Structure 1
Amino acid sequence: MNHKHIINMGIQIVPKSKNLDSYHLVDKAIEVIQKSGVKYVVTPFETVMEGEQKELMEIAQKAQEAVLNAGADEVLVYYRMQIRKTKDVWIMDKIEKYTP
């Protein structure tokens, strides 16, 4: 069942490489998210995106491919999603009171 509501998806991509800096590889994933046009927030452990589930899953796939294409030997990908049955989930509803 795929509701057409706005959800939040946290994605953490952990690249593994013998030769390349992991922060550089993670930057490649974040670039994909930045170029996607969806609202997002980068945190020290994951990037949280806001949008329809299908769109966010497609972006996540492109982000992991970008890390592999940038030279990672493998990636570990962790997802967390908040989905409501009848209404949207907005990032700002959760963090607005903490934003200066």
Structure 2
Amino acid sequence: MIQKTNPTISMAFQVIPKVPDGLNSYEIVDKAIEVVQKSGIKYEVGPMETTLEGTQDQLLELIKQAQDACIQNGALEVMTYIKIHYRPTGVSISEKIEKYR
């Protein structure tokens, strides 16, 4: 029998906005990161993706909001890449990177 749980997981995402001529795609990505910063969810911004820590439902909803922020700030469309590290007992960002700090 599969037991339903709602553990803390690690999820990384990258948004790649398609922008019209004259718009800077980095500025659009910054708007997506602002959504993450204001969310209260634990995160780490990296050079290629942002890693999040929370429940799967929380994080997927946050990524949707980040995509919407791209569109609201001028992107014509957004490609989003998502990686999920799931473990029934939970996964944290710090357990993965603490030894490198």
- TM > 0.5 fold call: yes
Aligned residue pairs, count: 98
Percent sequence identity over aligned pairs: 47
Instruction: Tell whether 2:52 aligns with 1:44.
Output: no
Q: Which residue matches 1:3? A: 5
TM-score, length-normalised on structure 2? 0.93
1:13-41: CA deviation from partner (whole Å, max 9, x where unpaired): 00111231011000000000000001000
Which residues of structure 1 form unaligned runs of 5+? none
Q: Which residue matches 1:71? A: 74
Q: Equivalents in 2 of 1:78, 1:23: separation in Å?
A: 16
Aligned structure 1 segments of 4 or more residues deviating by more than 2 angstroms: none
Q: Equivalents in 2 of 1:43, 1:20: separation in Å?
A: 22
Larger Cα-atom Rg? 2
Which residues of structure 2 form unaligned runs of 5+? none
TM-score, length-normalised on structure 1? 0.94
The CA RMSD over aligned residues, in Å, is 1.2
